[in-house]
Chain A
Amino acid sequence: MSIWEYANPKKFMQTSAWALPWFTGLAVLSMLVGLIWGFFFTPDDYKQGSTVKIIFLHVPAAMLAINAWLMMLVTSLIWLIRRHHVSALAAKAAAPIGLTFTLIALVTGAIWGQPMWGTWWAWDPRLTSFLILFLFYLGYIALWQAIDNPDTAADLTSVLCIVGSVFAVLSRYAVNFWNQGLHQGASLSLDKEEHVSDVFYFPLLVCIGGFIALFVALVLLRTRTEIRSRRLQALLTRERGTA
């Protein structure tokens, strides 16, 4: 029994069919609990008023926007090294989800920034690097769509993902150097010296858990779709061959 067994599409389909409803349920449950708790049962901040509550969408979305790219990096490496198709398809499936989370983080940030900073947008390092991350996602998805042969597409997008990761990190430090910004430091950290107060902390954790479950559920669902469409393609090719 090793993790590589799940690289077998059949085994993956079986396991994910079992796991998908659990993750979906967990996502729905914890997002409902977290968001309702966060939106209605936390006090207003003394300086920010109720706008502080956008944190329950903004922080989890931003976390996952970055981690989705990391997941794509890992699955791309697995594809290049061990050539498991499920891995490449999972990377393909995760990209639009990551793109959406990046967009959510940018939009909720702008909605929060308007009353708080007095501007929708500032060329702050964190904001700028998220915009650049957004462009990376766009390029990655566009490359997948532009190439017909699925194996070629998987290879090229994997190489792009690896090179893109290096440049994304570089860009992050470059923009840091270029402008010291408005954005506050980390909202969460493991040592409890510096993060949001407990009232917000616990519902935020529940929300993050919910977003992670949502991400896993969506990736599983989309990977299953990709595998099915790949099978369909194979069937069609075979039929054309015999007819």
Chain B
Amino acid sequence: MIALLIRDLRLAMRAGGGFGLGLAFFLLVAVLVPLGVGPEGSTLAKIAPGILWVGALLACLLSLDRIFALDFEDGSLDLLATAPMPLEGVVAVKAFAHWLVTGLPLTLVAPVLGLLLNLPGAGYGWLVASLALGTPALSVIGAFGAALTVGLKRGGLLLSLLVLPLYVPTLIFGAEVVKRGAEGQAVSTPLLLLAGITAGAAALLPFASAAAIRVNLR
């Protein structure tokens, strides 16, 4: 499992593209939104939690198809499927690797972008906390979408259509945590629900993803 994790991380680093692109996209969203809605600090402060969460979500979406597509093309996914390690484990490790190269950097960069969007001071801690808790769910759900579309030639757009509705609860609770945090209200309810979604998705979805991959490899 650890070997697979290291292999995936190394591939992501050396092949480039993937995770740098996601970060750049996240930055672009944070720059484009003020250009679109105007530079008033109060407006930006109000929409900053939502924008940051939507930006993180879209940035995460960008690299989803890479989770399985490359391995599917060169046949290593077949090898992984026949390996002694259960396919569910493979999926979970790959989703974790995806999180390490997209979700984690996004979480770390988010406070800087919060600065650009004039996020109120109380919100920064909760922004990092909610992204750290919520982005793993994005990776796991995304891995499920990627598993469904892995056999398709042009699965990219379909992948977004399948995955974005599934992201709705995560987005709502994640943005709610930051919004409440920024306004100085109690955040524990949405934070717990967010953690619940992440834990539930990480526990159950690898089974669905593995089933989808088995169908696609048939």
Contact = CB atoms under 8 A, between A and B. Distances in A.
Interface of A: 132, 135-136, 138-139, 142-143, 146-147, 152, 155-156, 159-160, 162-164, 167, 170-171, 173-175, 177-178
Contacts of B176: 177-178
B152 A159 contact: no
Q: Is the interface of B mostly helix, strand, loop or mixed?
A: helix
A135 B193 CA distance: 23
Contacts of A136: 165
Given A132-B165, A136-B165, A163-B208, A177 B152 contact: no
Given A142-B158, A152-B216, A152-B218, 8 more contacts: A143-B148, A143-B149, A152-B151, A156-B212, A159-B208, A170-B169, A171-B168, A177-B193
A100 to B, nearest CB: 18
Nearest to A134: B165
A142 B212 contact: no
B172 A177 contact: yes
A156 B215 contact: yes
B155 interface: yes
- Chain A interface mostly: helix
Given A156-B148, A177-B172, A139 B190 contact: no
Interface in B144-178: 144, 148-149, 151-152, 155, 158, 161-162, 164-166, 168-169, 172-173, 176
Contacts of A135: 161, 164-165
A159 B211 contact: yes
B172 A164 contact: no
B148 A171 contact: no
B166 A167 contact: yes
B59 interface: no
B110 interface: no
Interface string B117-157: 00000000000000000000000000010001101100100
Contacts of A164: 165-166
* Contact-size category for B: 20 to 34
A127 to B, nearest CB: 14
Interface of B: 144, 148-149, 151-152, 155, 158, 161-162, 164-166, 168-169, 172-173, 176, 189-190, 193, 197, 205, 208, 211-212, 215-216, 218
A147 B152 CA distance: 7
A163 B152 CA distance: 20
B169 A139 contact: no
B168 A167 contact: yes
B148 A160 contact: yes
Contacts of A138: 161
Contacts of A132: 165, 168
24 contacts: A132-B168, A135-B161, A135-B164, A135-B165, A139-B162, A142-B162, A143-B148, A143-B158, A143-B162, A146-B158, A147-B152, A152-B151, A152-B215, A156-B215, A159-B208, A159-B212, A160-B162, A162-B208, A167-B169, A170-B168, A170-B169, A174-B168, A177-B173, A178-B172
A162 B208 CA distance: 9
